[in-house]
Amino acid sequence: MQARTLQLTRNFVAGASLLVFFAPMLLAQEAVTDLNRDNYEDALSRGLYEEAEAAAKARLDQAIRTGQVKELSTAELLGDLADVQRLSGNFDSALQNYELAIEIVEAERDMLNLALTGPLLGIGRTYLESGRPDLALDYLN
């Protein structure tokens, strides 16, 4: 029994040591994420679409690097990137990113999930703003 207790103690100490080692890095990553989100929102509100797109791409890149490729949060980030691309007139890229967001939501949830509302409306707005109201109607309905 003492050997088991000793092993559990060693595991606890090793785990605590790892936490002490990695905690500053995790906090730094969170601070970068918050800064990129703030930069995105600020640039978007001021109509600085290139800056907003760069911040959105940085947020998306960080999510992908941390293994969040197929999560709803990544779908939201794709939607943010697509929104700024639509606003800046980059309609093809916006459509691709909205569609990727839809694929993630459908794979993680289902085809009737509320999280689909943003990307579907985004596709409709993109078609409308690009001069294709005939294609926009189905998505906006």
pLDDT along the chain (141 residues), means of 10: 64 56 49 76 95 94 86 92 97 97 91 91 97 94 85
The tokens for 56 are: 């959105």
Cα–Cα distances in Å, from 115 out to 44, 71, 128? 22, 12, 21
Q: What is the pLDDT of residue 88?
A: 96
Neighbours of 59 (CB within 10 A): 23
The burial of 98, by beta-carbon neighbours within 10 Å (0-12 exposed, 13-18 middle, 19 or more buried), is given as buried
Q: What is the pLDDT of residue 132?
A: 95
